[in-house]
Amino acid sequence: LESSLLTQPWASVCFGESAFLAKACFRDTGYILLISDLSSVWYESADAEAVGQRSKELNKRLTVHVSSFLHHLRSLMCPLLAGQAPAATSFSCHRLDSGLSLHVKSELSGLPFYWDFHCCPAPVEMVSRHLLRPLIQMSLALHCQVQKLACLLLQKDAEIEDYRESGATLSRDRLRTESFQEKMFQQNFMAEVRSSAR
């Protein structure tokens, strides 16, 4: 399950008034859920036996197979992670000393359906594998891309300057651009980032 979770993208979700990043993977054998507010990271991994036991405690009137519970949970969580909250379903969360509790209220087979995800703090290795490493890799990739684009812009400026020195002129003056100043661009960009982060 966790290997499959690595291929799932993070999604921005709201539970009540709180905003989180979350990703999840559901199978007939169980599920794994990972949630972060960028200060802490919580997770829950539950196999079919644990799902069956909790479903008996929370949904005494429902007598469906465990796989049906898992399919229903997937049908509630996957649209939420895709930015489309399911109709007639409510989500709420409570921060606890021991972790994070996510409460789901919906319907299944015409009867009320309740579910609680009991998320505990994620171990350091899981946080590194699912959050830190991908973020660092993406940051390095974007930095490399910016460097290549800056080199391309400088080459284009040199090419345009060569045209000008050869006597070429613009047919439309509004297309004229200033030469790219990499240092100035970096300073302005960092100033905008700091301003938006306040």
What pLDDT digit, counting tens, does each position of 168-180 carry? 888 888 878 888 8
Determine the Cα–Cα distance for residues 180 and 43; give it in Å rounded to an integer: 46
Determine the Cα–Cα distance for residues 138 and 194; give it in Å rounded to an integer: 20
3-state DSSP call for residue 30? strand
Q: Which CATH number is 1-122 given?
A: 2.170.210.10
pLDDT at 87 over 80: no
pTM of the model: 0.77
pLDDT at 19 over 70: yes
pLDDT at 147 over 80: yes
Which residue ranges make up each domain of the chain?
1-122, 128-197
The listed CATH number (1.10.287.450, 3.10.180.10, 2.115.10.20, 1.20.1280.290) that belongs to domain 128-197: 1.10.287.450
At 197 the pLDDT is 64
pLDDT at 10 over 90: yes
Strands of 18-27's sheet in order across = 11-15, 18-27, 30-36, 41-47, 111-121, 99-108, 90-96
Are 46 and 34 in contact by the 8 Å Cβ rule? The answer is: no
pLDDT at 163 over 90: no
At 198 the pLDDT is 66
